[in-house]
Amino acid sequence: MDATLISQVFGLVGESGEVAEKFKKLIRDKKGSISETDRQEIVKELGDILWYINSVSALLGSSLEEVATKNLDKVLSRKARGVTHGSGDNR
């Protein structure tokens, strides 16, 4: 496996953790209230996540468009089959 790909995947995980950490602190310290400053900080982190998703996608020979299309197809298929709730990748 390519070291660059692994590095980018870990970057994605790290940035996702930063978003989770921000929400944890909002719940702990502000009873879940999100100020405009909080919102802006979260949006910045989401931008980092988007950058890593794009990078990982490109390294896999894909694109954000393909990722989004495949995800939409998956969600619409689940909705059509009445299996939007529950768990499992192939429901």
Residue 35 is predicted with a pLDDT of 98
Residues 55, 67 share a domain: no
Domain of 74? 63-91
Residues 46, 77 share a domain: no
* Ranges of H-type helices in 31-63: 36-59
Residues 30, 74 share a domain: no
Tell me the C-alpha distance between 27 and 78, whole Å. 31
Residue ranges of the chain whose pLDDT lies below 70: 90-91
Residues 55, 11 share a domain: yes
Q: Are 11 and 52 in contact (CB under 8 A)?
A: yes
Residue 30 is predicted with a pLDDT of 97
Residues 56, 22 share a domain: yes
CA angle 12, 18, 20 (to 5 degrees): 105
Residues 18, 33 share a domain: yes
Q: Are 52 and 8 in contact (CB under 8 A)?
A: yes
Residue 91 is predicted with a pLDDT of 65
Residues 31, 13 share a domain: yes
Q: Which amino acid is at 1?
A: M
